[in-house]
Structure 1
Amino acid sequence: MSGGGKVVCVTGTSGYIASWIVKLLLLRGYTVKATVRDPSDTKKTAHLLALDGANERLKLFKADLLEEGSFEQAIKGCDAVFHTASPVKFTVTDPQTELIDPAVNGTINVLTTCKNTSSVKRVIVTSSTAAILVRQPPLGPNDVVDETFFSDPNLCLETKYWYPLSKTLAENAAWQFAKDNGIDMVVMNPGFIIGPILQPTLNFSVEMIVDIINGKSTFNTGSYRFVDVRDVALAHVKALETPSANGRYIIDGPSVTVNDVRELLRELFPDLSLADMNGESEMNLATYKVCVEKAKSLGVEFTPIESSLRDTIISLREKCLL
């Protein structure tokens, strides 16, 4: 087992990606110190405590992104830290308080503790393709997006794209802090994530599949890119286990239209009743290309969308969320 004897911290572990990272780390023999806002809230922790290896090697810690120093206990004595905690919301009343402060200040709060903890050798931060794709001029079919692309914060601000703004500002602040303080940091930039859920509630990206089934399209766009949560979690762990890992890693899938997704769902689950898309016509979106060679170099093989969709639906049914 690769992680035998190693101690790592994962922040925001009640979330979708983080739960899978914890599951994978435990399977690989790591001891995991996991932060949640309220360790006594069983709705947020039961699925973690039920994971294989949790009894022996999972410890929960209370921490809050906006409380300075609240991650010290969890990070103390760790070899590495996975910082995944950050709010995911697309509808907000007060973007500064709901998204930007927790994303930016939370990241700096965690990195400050890492800087002051001599045992920490590497920090892996979960960002998003939202910190990559919002650019002027907009991306076209001839563009090949890679790790050198950054979203433009001013454009995010003008267009009120608050979530991309929060991810972009947080990632920019993280790179600056890591550079100033000599922190070995690797950043993951996943797209919309689907696949089986471990937590008992719907998260934003899986809810998009539920919306497509129910005839709603979250962003009224004709196409999406989906990536499997298990691939994203593995990429995070590989970023720790690969000494040469560095910089950013885009983890994203090929472009599929809403109609493609519906067709696949019909084939996979003939008994699934798919609502009409309220007469929504498919917008002919000029999609860009995405280069995921860097993530593949970590040893991540991308799960085909058929498998991801199938496992998403099975998991939603098991959790009575569909």
Structure 2
Amino acid sequence: MKTVGIIGGAGFIGSYITKKFLKKGFNVKVSVTDIKKSEKYKHLFNLENSDNLNISSLRVENLEVLKDFISDCELVIHGGTPFQLDVKDPQTELFNPTIKGTENFLEAISETPSIEKVVFIASVAAWNTNFPLPSHGKNPTDTFNENDKKYINTESHPYAQAKFMANQTVEKFTKDHPTLHFEITSVSPVGVMGKSLSNREDSTSTGLQFLFKNNIAPNPFVQMLYDTNAEFAIVDVIDVAEAIFKAATISGLHGKNYLLSSETYPISDLNLMLNHQTPKNKASVVYENTMARNDLGIQFRPVQETLNSYSEQL
């Protein structure tokens, strides 16, 4: 029985990853930032095979604790970046934990001989920090795939910039270390939506679905999405977890970064689907998913199914 360490394994995406590895018979170690806040991870003990689950406290900025966490792991999933839109201090809240945490993580895995495979949960922002708006030089309906040039805009949201820079750090590390004893694979999901496994109310992903369902704009960013009726690419959280499991357990994927996306709809149609109404527009595929379908064998769920799943929990 192999051991997988999942940094951020109690979050919205992380919970589904934890569920998948437990179901497949792995020993699963999950890190949380504050072990005292049991309400953020207690739902994991309701999962199948939770006897094989261990929760421990970890901040990726703490190198020694990080090394200890992964010391007996064969597989490691790094999904510990906080996804947040309302940011008061970008340096402290986003850039430090994202970029410094990535640098620490790369150092730690290099010194851990048991590791066979590492998966980074990046973001579509690793390719285009303007998301959900189109990349530089593209129209909203132009397609985007892994062969397109990565684009960073210094006026983009700090979260997007942090994810872009963290991914650049991983790419440079991979290039500078051609004889690693493990493989590194990254996945870059677009807007991740679906039903939460917990009752937490602090998930940005579930929060966005609530806002879109009710046409609420708590900040200029969300208001801009409504004003422009932005084309929004979505992927189901279940499919993201499946892709991460495949990326972690299939060999020969070293250095690849997979875009994970299903369909794209304008915001007005997301509102309709979240309210169990029929969208007015046909789905398009702006962020292409051919590489993920071919290499990982993922069949992406339709967006309408994903958004209905969220609505059913209300």
Structure 2 counterpart of 1:290, from 287, 290, 297: 287
On the 8 A contact 1:141/1:288 being kept in 2, the answer is no
On the 8 A contact 1:226/1:254 being kept in 2, the answer is yes
Counterpart for residue 69 of structure 2: 74
On the 8 A contact 1:26/1:32 being kept in 2, the answer is yes
- Name the Cα RMSD after superposition: 2.3
On the 8 A contact 1:47/1:199 being kept in 2, the answer is yes
Counterpart for residue 34 of structure 1: 30
What CA deviation, in whole Å up to 9, does each residue of 1:185-232 have, x standing for no partner? Answer: 101100111111012223112212211222225233413111100000
What CA deviation, in whole Å up to 9, does each residue of 1:24-79 have, x standing for no partner? Answer: 00001111111111223211120112211112x11112110211222122211211
On the 8 A contact 1:61/1:73 being kept in 2, the answer is no
How many Å separate the matches in 2 of 1:45 and 1:214? 28
How many Å separate the matches in 2 of 1:9 and 1:196? 23
Question: TM-score, normalization: structure 2?
Answer: 0.86
Counterpart for residue 226 of structure 1: 234
Structure 2 counterpart of 1:249, from 253, 258, 276: 258
On the 8 A contact 1:231/1:300 being kept in 2, the answer is yes
Give the counterpart letter for 2:102 in structure 1: T
Counterpart for residue 93 of structure 2: 98
Q: CA deviation at 1:91?
A: 2.6
Structure 2 counterpart of 1:14, from 10, 22, 28: 10
Structure 2 counterpart of 1:131, from 126, 132, 135: 126
Show structure 1 runs of 5+ residues with no match. Answer: 270-281, 318-322
Show structure 2 runs of 5+ residues with no match. Answer: none
Map residues 146-295 of structure 1 onto 2, 5 A cutoff: 146-149=145-148, 151-153=150-152, 155=153, 157=154, 159-181=155-177, 182=180, 183-202=182-201, 203-216=203-216, 218=222, 219-220=225-226, 221-222=228-229, 223-246=231-254, 247-267=256-276, 289-295=286-292
1:89 aligns with 2:97: no
More deviation, 236-245/175-184:
175-184
On the 8 A contact 1:125/1:186 being kept in 2, the answer is yes
How many Å separate the matches in 2 of 1:10 and 1:265? 30
On the 8 A contact 1:133/1:139 being kept in 2, the answer is no
On the 8 A contact 1:23/1:51 being kept in 2, the answer is yes
Q: State, as a whole percentage, how many aligned pairs show the same letter.
A: 26
Give the counterpart letter for 2:16 in structure 1: W
More deviation, 216-225/133-142:
133-142
Give the counterpart letter for 2:298 in structure 1: V
Q: CA deviation at 1:87?
A: 1.5
More deviation, 85-94/11-20:
85-94
Counterpart for residue 51 of structure 1: 47
Q: Per the alignment, do residues 152 and 262 of structure 1 end up closer, same or farther by CA in structure 2, a change over 3 Å counting?
A: closer
Give the counterpart letter for 2:308 in structure 1: R
On the 8 A contact 2:195/2:309 being kept in 1, the answer is yes
What CA deviation, in whole Å up to 9, does each residue of 1:107-136 have, x standing for no partner? Answer: 121221111000101110001001112376
More deviation, 86-95/228-237:
86-95
SS across alignment from 2:47 = coil
How many Å separate the matches in 2 of 1:23 and 1:34? 11
Q: CA deviation at 1:150?
A: 5.1
On the 8 A contact 2:10/2:18 being kept in 1, the answer is no
How many Å separate the matches in 2 of 1:16 and 1:231? 13
How many Å separate the matches in 2 of 1:290 and 1:267? 25
SS across alignment from 2:242 = helix
On the 8 A contact 1:139/1:288 being kept in 2, the answer is no
On the 8 A contact 2:146/2:258 being kept in 1, the answer is yes
On the 8 A contact 1:133/1:149 being kept in 2, the answer is no
How many Å separate the matches in 2 of 1:58 and 1:32? 5
How many Å separate the matches in 1 of 2:156 and 2:82? 16
- Equivalenced residues, count: 293
